[in-house]
Amino acid sequence: MGYKSISLKMPTGYSEDSLSKKIKGIVKTGNFSYSIERKSLDARKKSNIHWELKIIVSSNDIKQEPSQKIPELELIYRKRNKRVIVVGSGPAGFFAAYVLQKSGYNTMIIERGTEVGKRTIGISKFESTGIFNPVSNYAFGEGGAGTFSDGKLTSRSKRISLEKKFILKSYVEAGGPKEILYMTHPHLGSDNLKIIVKNLRHKFEYEGGTILFETQMKDIHVNNGKVTGISTNHGDFDADYFFIAPGHSSYDTYRLLISKGVLFHSKNFAIGSRMEHPQELINIAQWGRSSLPGVKAAEYRLTSKGENREHVYSFCMCPGGVIVPASATSDTSVVNGMSRYMRDNKFANAACVATINIGRMLKKEVSAIKTIDWLEDLERKFYKFTDGFTIPGCTISDFISGNLTGNLSDFSYPLGVTQAPLWELLPGNVQTAMREGLKDFCNRMNGFETGNIMGLESKTSAPIQVERDKQGLCIGFNNLYVIGEGSGFAGGIISSAADGIKSAISIVS
Ligand SMILES: Cc1cc2nc3c(=O)[nH]c(=O)nc-3n(C[C@H](O)[C@H](O)[C@H](O)COP(=O)(O)OP(=O)(O)OC[C@H]3O[C@@H](n4cnc5c(N)ncnc54)[C@H](O)[C@@H]3O)c2cc1C
């Protein structure tokens, strides 16, 4: 059997039949099978939007040498008689626990939120009543912030290619679409994620792992640089190793870790608001037409740099998606975006954020704890403004002009939008930078100024970073790891999960 790697261009609405015919024309035989290695949309020229495909064709009629085997993450099972507690069932905590359990550790996950079924009910009740549920919300519960997320699986880091492959394969084995293995912009959607996290939990339990829901770590017992145990609302637990994967919304967990001597420092992050447009407007701006066969919805990615102001960029664009209330507590207001696999909602949303260097902004050194306090105060300010989870918003052109016209158009956010001078609620330097950034965006996309902008987006990445050594151990501790987005070393589903895997592997000897 020989293999041949070929690159092809195909029209957006191509059929499997037409692809097979094209391959046959190239390899000059009808006796072959093929697999797609990479698929990306080239939309640079509106008159010639097409898929770029890299395909591996295998056939007895092909004489080339077999292709090189791409390395895989190898996990060797050995009974290790060591107990591990992982706090948090998000991508970082789950994948750390999964790898450890598969390698022979006795692993238990503790999750403050509910399992995904209850969580789905909790979130839908929240969105219909506005009554917040502290254990079933967009931040907390099975699968962490990653479950009711948009499920974009992009990550640009080359250092995590083995881990990324393992994560994507695990998602496919748990029911995810196979295309995530080769799309350059893979996307699961929250409908798939709900099923996947449950199936992954069953696999973890089948391997012998334990998971406790609605169980919150409330205290950590430390003796001489060693964590000896943790206290939860369901009793105390001890273990040999502790992996804390709290995400970046769990401010009480951050405060607990800091009070126990875990070292964190402030880092750069970004804040802003969510922009929203009719998806059709974005399709026309990007493709020159309202729809394209074989492609779900158009995306965009915009950046704007200017002198003497912070960098502004669009973040976490959700084509065909909705804006959601992503608060982690009952008195803070935060928005985020998500979509279903089909990306078939009539709106497109994305964050518009400006970078924050808190020390530069406040003109003093700011400790990790003060940074958390500052961010939480801002999230509370947005809550207090409407006295609930209704969010302030205006049109993009109002934000730019600083003049509220009251022309807000239709929106997807489920708990209502109050027309307000949104810019006044944001810190001065963020306001100025966003205004300039939005002007730039409007110059680049037709009709962009007619969109809405709303709420507070404060969760692009963690505002603080843990201090850890080369093995990933928290400085000053010999069995404690803080991993994933909450560590400040990762952001997003793939990099958080990969950070969990790398940290777990560091103890597998
Ligand atoms: C609406 C939305 C859309 C998003 N869309 C995308 C996207 O498309 N692509 C992408 O890459 N990223 C997306 N993200 C971000 C992504 O979800 C996170 O980067 C990722 O989930 C971080 O993983 P993590 O495991 O580090 O933390 P998390 O997923 O935040 O998980 C942390 C878990 O720890 C638990 N926990 C915290 N403290 C305790 C405690 N004391 N005791 C017990 N349990 C505790 C929490 O309940 C939570 O379940 C989105 C986020 C949201 C909210």
Tell me which residue has its CA closest to atom 34 in ligand 1: 88
Taking the CA atoms of residue 372, residue 378, residue 384 and residue 387 in that order, the dihedral angle to the nearest 10 degrees is -80
Q: Are 300 and 317 in contact (CB under 8 A)?
A: yes
Q: Are 350 and 337 in contact (CB under 8 A)?
A: yes
Determine the 3-state secondary structure of 356 from DSSP.
strand
Q: Any residues with Cβ below 6 Å from ligand 1, and which?
A: 87-93, 110-113, 138, 140-141, 144-146, 148-152, 216-217, 245-247, 250, 253, 316, 324, 326, 336, 338, 484-486, 491-493, 496
CATH number for the domain that contains residue 195: 3.50.50.60
Strand stretches in 282-320, DSSP E: 303-304, 312-318
Do both 334 and 348 map to the same domain?
A: yes
Q: How far apart are CA 9 and CA 211, in angstroms?
A: 46
The radius of gyration of the chain from alpha carbons, rounded to an integer in Å, stands at 24
The reply to whether 379 falls in a domain is yes
pLDDT in tens, the chain (509 residues): 888 899 999 999 999 999 999 999 999 999 999 999 999 999 999 999 999 999 999 999 988 766 666 788 999 999 999 999 999 999 999 999 999 999 999 999 999 999 999 999 999 999 999 999 999 999 999 999 989 989 999 887 878 989 999 999 999 999 999 999 999 999 999 999 999 999 999 999 999 999 999 999 999 999 999 999 999 999 999 999 999 999 999 999 999 999 999 999 999 999 999 999 999 999 999 999 999 999 999 999 999 999 889 999 999 999 999 999 999 999 999 999 999 999 999 999 999 999 999 999 999 999 999 999 999 999 999 999 999 999 999 999 999 999 999 899 999 999 999 999 999 999 999 999 999 999 999 999 999 999 999 999 999 999 999 999 998 999 999 999 999 999 999 999 999 999 999 999 999 97
CATH number for the domain that contains residue 9: 3.30.1660
Among candidate residues 44, 59, 74, the one where a domain is terminated: 59
CA 126 to chain centre: 21
Do both 284 and 257 map to the same domain?
A: no
Do both 341 and 426 map to the same domain?
A: yes
The reply to whether 66 falls in a domain is no
The reply to whether 69 falls in a domain is no
**Per-residue confidence (pLDDT) for residue 67, from 0 to 100:** 62
Structural domain that includes position 25? 2-59
Do both 325 and 253 map to the same domain?
A: no
Q: Residues 70, 76, 82, 87: is their CA dihedral positive or negative?
A: positive
Ligand 1 mean position, distance from CA 207 (Å): 24
The reply to whether 38 falls in a domain is yes
Do both 275 and 257 map to the same domain?
A: no
Do both 164 and 206 map to the same domain?
A: yes
DSSP 8-state secondary structure symbol assigned to residue 481: E
Do both 160 and 282 map to the same domain?
A: no
The reply to whether 231 falls in a domain is yes
- What the block records as the tokens of 276 is 């929203």
The count of structural domains within the chain is 3
Candidates 257, 228, 75, 51; CA nearest to 166 is: 75
Tell me which residue has its CA closest to atom 41 in ligand 1: 217
Q: Are 270 and 315 in contact (CB under 8 A)?
A: yes
| 470: amino acid identity, one letter | K
**Per-residue confidence (pLDDT) for residue 107, from 0 to 100:** 98
Do both 53 and 96 map to the same domain?
A: no
Please list the alpha-helical segments (H only) found in 140-297. 161-173, 190-206, 251-259, 279-287
Taking the CA atoms of residue 417, residue 420, residue 425 and residue 431 in that order, the dihedral angle to the nearest 10 degrees is 110
The reply to whether 122 falls in a domain is yes
Do both 119 and 258 map to the same domain?
A: yes
Q: Which of 149, 211, 233 to mutate to test the pocket of ligand 1 (most atoms within 8 A of CB)?
A: 149
The reply to whether 77 falls in a domain is no
Do both 231 and 360 map to the same domain?
A: no
Do both 425 and 284 map to the same domain?
A: yes
Candidates 256, 254, 207; CA nearest to 230 is: 256
Do both 445 and 371 map to the same domain?
A: yes
The reply to whether 68 falls in a domain is no
